[in-house]
Structure 1
């Protein structure tokens, strides 16, 4: 799947897409999965519930946000790939975190969920040919292609893992 052109997504997403290395996006997604598992698998629950500042998300909430966002974007990619162009509503990330009850779960449960979700999404994106990857739909009031979504997912995860490394560990 080729890197999307800048006219295939809103300018806001360039911050994420520009950080994704060149090469096979599905390989990048798989490499991210391994790196995230290695980074977070040995942390204790007390660290997972920590916040680097008041009113900031806990590490669990950040990981849950990554999982929820990937799930929402993958659904959009599937719909666009199947020629359902939407429009689809925005994802209110603060509401997702507020109502997620994430402190009731273990860090391992989030890692397990992320692992299964990411593996499923890699298979999904691998199933799309070039024509499908160029299909466009509307979500959050902006147009985006299927392949842009794959890169947004990778860039979004990369962004939040950087924050975890710098602020939580």
Structure 2
């Protein structure tokens, strides 16, 4: 007990010498560490727990099989990326960007990232589909605890601002 006390006293003395700014910084760091630990636990939990947690928070996960078969119900809604760009997907597949979303049969089996097709009649792009817990195999700096989409021409380690999240 004395050894524990002796170790504890110097820590108290050192922390008592911190300025208000350092104390605030220390508090922020410990809060960040606490938040990071919680996030790590969530992301390492089983897929069922991640999905259940997201549903409890009101998040509807993407249903890749249905999207592949052109049922876009789980994609419908307003999505916003880190730069403030908004993508609205309507139930008929049309969008606010004059693009149309089409399911791609077996996209989850033919590509490392499941995707839908976005077309405007002459050109197109892929709409990468990221279910809750699914990580981009090329590197992922997004919030994997939420469903997200990416508009892209090719795969890659997208910047965090590129990912669209349901609003």
With normalisation by structure 2, the TM-score equals 0.23
Q: Greater strand percent: which structure?
A: 2
With normalisation by structure 1, the TM-score equals 0.23
